[in-house]
Amino acid sequence: MTAPLRSDAVRVRAPGKLNVYFEVGPLLDDGYHAVASAYQAVSLFEDVWAVPANDFRLEVIGSVDVSAVPLDDRNLALRAARILAQHTGYEGGVHLTIDKHVPVAGGMGGGSADAAAVLVACDALWGTEVGSAELQRLAARLGADVPFALMGGTAVGLGRGDRLSPALATGRFEWVIVLAEGGLSTPAVYRELDRLRTRSAAIGHPSTGAIRLAPTAGPHDDDADPVVATGVLHALRAGDAEDLAGHLHNDLQEAALSLRPELSDVLDLGDRAGALAGIVSGSGPTVAFLAADLESALELQVTLSAAGYSALHVHGPVPGARLI
């Protein structure tokens, strides 16, 4: 084992993410779902400081409500530090401080970004030098979104979302995100999706809700893993926001709207205010609007803010977890 990189604080920044496309396969026997996602890392960041300690300690601050963030081993960030120490045989600890700006339980992968940042920070602080490929393997043990938070940019995720392949995206995409009060439990949203699909199958016709309940990337075999629609990849590759707007899709959206009906009002307002398209981010309740250009995004942000919503302008793609 090499000597630690430095004896004082290490700082790492990691991005939140948007799922510009998210297709969910049927419920499997193990209680999970196969998914197909097109991720884009966006310019809403988490900052993590790591300093040497004899044990493992965590404190959390930030511009968002962090009152519900656990400070014990339920927190992915603390688990990330322990996993890296166990994997490398490091016998010390770390004091972690997380400065959160990605909404908690908001569908933007803030907790996963924290975990990715901690892996990078502790690897640098401790001098363990496990390498990016090994960090990715450790990240996959922590959750489906953690490997993407390490990678950043734009990527396709298959399986549980952790089988990643970089996707070419040219140019810059402008987004306006609307933060909601309170979070949504990802397992609860998946349970609601399964309930809605079961009800839809029982009555013999598809739901008439705001988004499709069944995967729709083309003719679909229920036993086959979902895939990302090719139109999404073409639009990303071309850097064409208008084309991408026509392909935004989230199978979890109707479930999120069922649990939080007021999100429909946000989507309607963004549509009337000139967004190219709007979508619930991941399991929600954050809503993301794609804008045609920077000027349009700023105008949309002003309109949504004037209506009383907490609206932020972000852009993507941006890099994954990195030392600052």
- Residues forming the annotated binding site? 103-113
C-beta of residue 270 within 8 angstroms of C-beta of residue 289: yes
Is residue 145 annotated as part of the catalytic site, yes or no? yes
Place of tokens 């026997």: 29
Q: Annotated catalytic residue: which of 17, 99, 114, 251?
A: 17
- Residues forming the annotated binding site for ATP? 103-113
Separation of alpha carbons 245 and 159, rounded Å: 25
Place of tokens 């995206």: 169
Separation of alpha carbons 20 and 29, rounded Å: 27
Is residue 100 annotated as part of the catalytic site, yes or no? no
Residues near 25 by beta carbon (within 8 Å), at least 6 away in sequence: 33, 34, 35, 36, 215, 222, 224, 225, 226
Q: Annotated catalytic residue: which of 47, 145, 162, 251?
A: 145
Separation of alpha carbons 293 and 241, rounded Å: 8
Separation of alpha carbons 314 and 284, rounded Å: 17
Q: Residue 258: how many CB atoms within 10 A of its CB?
A: 17
Q: What's the one-letter identity of residue 206?
A: P
DSSP labels, 5-72: S-SS-EEEEEEEEEEEEEEEEEEPTTS-EEEEEEEEEEEEEEEEEEEEESSEEEEEEESS--TT---S
Give the catalytic positions in this structure.
17, 145
